[in-house]
Structure 1
């Protein structure tokens, strides 16, 4: 069947063997659309009418232990594939949707393109207290949030939802599916579904020329690259542009790995904790080109000083001037804008201002920074220094074949300044909202997207306490990841915020062992108390992961308050 433009239109429910079902229910309609979209799995917990309907079409379920982790897995999958593959998550109405709220909030802050399909109460009872109506309550943490009310509207609603997942700013998109609607029958021949395509906006040529001219006139420009570089698959173009104008590049926490951190022009990640290269070049910068970042002010991201001229390229017009006054804002896909800027420089024969030996300056600052911190990274103390854990992870993995993520708090601040992410997508950084435990789901989603990669998640014991039972999901769903848990028996860093409660009642204290939990759940577990035994333990765990068994290495560490850029 063809439409008026001569393009193929596929009736909902049309099977590959070209046998059309006479009648389908709503769940089957949704599943058939997911099949047409090439969805490889449907993630969720604990129950959804979509699980069976999708399984009938050979789309397997990935069942987690909690709705929140299901959403975290979908985020990890979406970010690892840069949105090129549709990440779909579903949960049960009522408590399932309620429990998924935190994960969707995290994904909204991380700008992860997720299709969220919670089931809903039967029509007519959704607004009756205390029933939880997802389409009403998730509006502020999704970019599109609707509920289906008629089964015949499902194809166009799914088209609208998937269109928004693929286009514009990345964010979760929600379509609530009442359970009675999913059971309702309809004739699929009356409903047509067309697969939406991605549209890539680009800037006006005059805007691009102005951006380039401002950069060329600057004495000490810096590029601040965000997650939009990864989402737009623009790392290669960013490297070419930076080399062309000899501009140093730093990334946001979410943008880490968007620019290879072993490149001579790489400054590292401008998080709360950061290498000295960031502060040095931000202090002297006169122009900052923000590429693919919302420039959100956050406790976990280095702020930009008021005396800087800020240029911003973003796919979302809502980002422009949101938190910082900007001299010029351009709405564009990052890759498209970079290609335009490169073409403009080459066509016009433009050359960069002589700013001296930028690469040599970066190398000198980095060398001095590492000389200061190597004693922490190689410390032989017992309990083990958390920086020694970071150091041994860096030595044990092949960065080109590994995806690393962290959890919130000290694991992030201790890992991010030192780990060199050399390949786009090899590091899942996050930092605007910092929900403990999210890193485990991100790692599982990354492994789901790239089964051949070694996936490592570094977390603290408080984070493990939030989601640790989902380590079993890694085993049951054949997602062998390596989780490294640092155990120091305290809520790291929290004593300062509750000194009286800590002093009188030990409010920051924690206890327990975690390697035995991993073994009890069917994985490989090992506890390390000596720094000399740490790297061999990591190598054994990586070998186990390579043979298909999820592994957990528990490391007994001491609390370490000193952080790069803050101490």
Structure 2
């Protein structure tokens, strides 16, 4: 079956033909056709749970399955992979029709908000019964959390529909794309003689030259411009160009939570991440900014992202025209891929030979504020308290890992707000941040996906016990699928911060209380587990966990901490 799809003349970029090898033709099932196209697209694995006709069809072509323990975590793994992998590689996830698709909804909703380019191929009820209640019709129900959601109706249309789906994954705003595959269609046979499959390529649109010139002139005329870089910088692999542009104009750069690592945070012009909790450099330079260039960001208003004041001149560059002016009034919007726009802006500045404003003191100003911020929080970062301060955990992780060869992520809630302001991400894709919808437990799947994408990197995820409780059994997926990651679980026996929103229920009935131990769970599932209650034992435990990870075993370090309400930028 794998010989039934062959590559046409290499001079025709990406042109593939489905044709029989044997005389008289050779029929293929719908599942085999889909799997063959995935093989030609270079797909390295197919992620999912619990059952799909695509698993066997892909396995026959040496595309291994990665089976999670829940559909939601399977989608989280695909998101982590999509946001960490090299350009052009597809993150593919499949689930069983009915309850599998229903259970995957939360993960796809998270990926939609995170703008993760995932190819979602759920199986569907047999044709004719998909719209009969209570059958769950995936393509109908997922339309608000995907940018394209369709059902395959005829087997001969599969090559065309797969081309259309993959084209949408690669182009435009990143988002999940859904093609529902009815189980009877996947089993149906078809002779694909002379069927042509054209491999979709990515297009990187660029802005109008006049619009780019106007945008640059506004920045050059500004007294205190700031770049607010989003995930579009990462999606376009535009970090190199962003660094060049920032250095050319001496403009400070901050990132959105999803864009963290898009600009190296150890750079003299880096301000850090403008999340709900944030370093003082962000507040200082956003307060004094007169012009803000929002680059590669949808400028979505979110509880977890620093809002932009109305008195700023706001410029927006985004690949999606639907983002322009969506949540903020903007002075100018340009529809462009982030890297294309940066190259145009750099070329314009160099060609026009503008006299650049002298901002020689800006880096000294950043350095001074950053140093004062770190000094102010150092007593918490190095605290010797018992139970352990969560900031001490953040500090010890920062000392234990090499940020140039690591991928780290946080989970929702306090782990995010305590970790993101301090951890310096220095390599593109080395930090999976999220700041729109923030479903507890997503960080574990993101870490597994990152390890799948970058097997030689050290992958660490920081979670609270509530988050771990949502997905704990998928720690076994790390072991079974040979994805050694380090999970750090903060255990303070409460839902951190939730007592404030339900004070009566917490006081009378302990509604915010949690209990349990988590290191034994890791050991029971086949991993390395260790619990730490003394601050002096924390770094040695982390190093032991990293040593186990380096030897191929997933590890979990449980840290007994106290609840900490103080957050950078909010306290």
Unaligned runs of 5+ in 1: none
Q: What is the aligned partner in structure 2 of residue 107 from structure 1?
A: 111
* Offset of residue 429 of structure 1: 0.4
Cα separation, partners in 2 of 1:82 and 1:565, compared to 1, 3 Å: farther
Unaligned runs of 5+ in 2: 1-6
Q: What is the aligned partner in structure 1 of residue 358 from structure 2?
A: 354
* Offset of residue 505 of structure 1: 0.2
Deviation per CA, 1:497-555, whole angstroms, max 9, x where unpaired?
Answer: 00000010000000000000000000000000000000000000000000000000000
Q: What is the aligned partner in structure 1 of residue 378 from structure 2?
A: 374
1:63 maps onto 2:62 in alignment? no
Alignment partner of 2:549 out of 541, 545, 548: 545
Matches within 5 A, 1:17-416: 22-81=26-85, 83-416=87-420
Check whether the contact 1:471–1:518 (CA below 8 A) recurs between aligned residues: yes
Cα separation, partners in 2 of 1:19 and 1:477, compared to 1, 3 Å: farther
- Structure 2 distance, partners of 1:519, 1:42, is 27
Alignment partner of 2:532 out of 528, 532, 538: 528
* Offset of residue 438 of structure 1: 0.3
Check whether the contact 1:13–1:29 (CA below 8 A) recurs between aligned residues: no
Q: What is the aligned partner in structure 2 of residue 12 from structure 1?
A: 18
4+ runs deviating over 3 angstroms: 5-9, 18-21
Deviation per CA, 1:251-289, whole angstroms, max 9, x where unpaired?
Answer: 000000000000000000000000000000000000000
TM-score relative to the length of structure 1: 0.98
Cα separation, partners in 2 of 1:20 and 1:413, compared to 1, 3 Å: farther
Check whether the contact 1:229–1:292 (CA below 8 A) recurs between aligned residues: yes
* Offset of residue 89 of structure 1: 0.1
- Structure 1 distance, partners of 2:24, 2:339, is 41
1:453 maps onto 2:457 in alignment? yes
Check whether the contact 1:443–1:456 (CA below 8 A) recurs between aligned residues: yes
Check whether the contact 1:13–1:20 (CA below 8 A) recurs between aligned residues: no
Deviation per CA, 1:193-227, whole angstroms, max 9, x where unpaired?
Answer: 11111111001111111011000000000000000
Check whether the contact 2:313–2:331 (CA below 8 A) recurs between aligned residues: yes
- Structure 2 distance, partners of 1:177, 1:479, is 29
Check whether the contact 1:246–1:352 (CA below 8 A) recurs between aligned residues: no
For residue 405 of structure 1, give the secondary structure of its aligned residue in structure 2.
strand
Cα separation, partners in 2 of 1:489 and 1:187, compared to 1, 3 Å: same
* Offset of residue 352 of structure 1: 2.4
Check whether the contact 1:486–1:557 (CA below 8 A) recurs between aligned residues: yes
* Offset of residue 355 of structure 1: 3.5
RMSD between aligned alpha carbons?
Answer: 1.4
Check whether the contact 2:20–2:191 (CA below 8 A) recurs between aligned residues: no
* Offset of residue 14 of structure 1: 6.5
Check whether the contact 2:20–2:26 (CA below 8 A) recurs between aligned residues: no
Check whether the contact 2:250–2:360 (CA below 8 A) recurs between aligned residues: no
* Offset of residue 351 of structure 1: 3.2
Check whether the contact 1:219–1:355 (CA below 8 A) recurs between aligned residues: no
Check whether the contact 2:461–2:486 (CA below 8 A) recurs between aligned residues: yes
For residue 193 of structure 2, give the secondary structure of its aligned residue in structure 1.
helix
For residue 83 of structure 2, give the secondary structure of its aligned residue in structure 1.
helix
* Offset of residue 83 of structure 1: 4.9
- Structure 1 distance, partners of 2:34, 2:495, is 44
For residue 189 of structure 1, give the secondary structure of its aligned residue in structure 2.
coil
Deviation per CA, 1:39-81, whole angstroms, max 9, x where unpaired?
Answer: 0000000000000000000000000000000000000000001
Cα separation, partners in 2 of 1:276 and 1:19, compared to 1, 3 Å: farther
TM-score relative to the length of structure 2: 0.97
For residue 385 of structure 2, give the secondary structure of its aligned residue in structure 1.
coil
Q: What is the aligned partner in structure 2 of residue 441 from structure 1?
A: 445
* Offset of residue 9 of structure 1: 4.0
